Amino acid sequence: MSPNRQPTDETRKMNLQLIVITDRALAAPRDPIDVVRACLEAGAPAVQLRDKHASARELYDQAVALRELTAAYDALFFVNDRLDVALAAGADGVHLGPDDLPLHAARLAAPADFLIGYSTDDPAEAAQAQAAGASYIGCGAVFGTTTKPEAAGEQIGLERLEAVVKAVEIPVVGIGGIGPENAELVARTGAAGVAVVRAIMAADDPAEVVRRLLDAFRKGGDRQPGG
């Protein structure tokens, strides 16, 4: 499949119930692509490539491989931070943070249907991101995280997550310390999904964790008012 594959209408539905975020160190000694394959077979609807230590060429090679794999399962594929790599590999989108390329600049450079996620736990900033063209918000760390040293000790909690959900009309995805044991609580805030690194990448059976996460999140969504 060409890396410049155009997204389909089905892709645009943007199922973000679970975004599997890659981590080579946590997946070791396994290849992260093999872990992702198991997750996709278990029903994961979205994958984000995150590798802070890879060169641009290494990241591109990983992105092309993951683009082909996610396309085979009709799953969304995002690249963390690097808009250039995401576009070159034919990804569905990119995920940006406050220190990355400004959101408005990314939106100008990307195709109209290209998805752009943005990280913030501030309701006002989330609303600004929506106005600047964000497709969804990544919000955390909800329960704390050990995979991002710069966010060590941060724990925004469920109330803050819900405040961000209420501040925007675009989907909000919770991230940080999320596993099968608390995904249901995240769903009850009205969040569109969860993004998970350690609970999946470090698991002996990633596929089983994916199934449990999806089941827990769907149960939580069913328990929302009107759900």
| Residue among 136, 149, 110 at smallest CA distance from 48 | 136
Instruction: Specify which residues 117 forms β-bridges with.
Output: 95, 136
How many Å apart are CA 17 and CA 184, to the nearest integer? 11
160 is catalytic: no
Catalytic residue among 37, 50, 67, 188: 50
Find out whether 201 and 167 touch, Cβ atoms under 8 Å. no
50 is catalytic: yes
Catalytic residue among 5, 24, 148, 198: 148
Catalytic residue among 67, 119, 135, 188: 119
Written as six digits, the tokens of 83 are: 């808009």
| Residue among 160, 211, 166 at smallest CA distance from 190 | 166
52 is catalytic: no
Active-site annotation, residues = 50, 119, 148
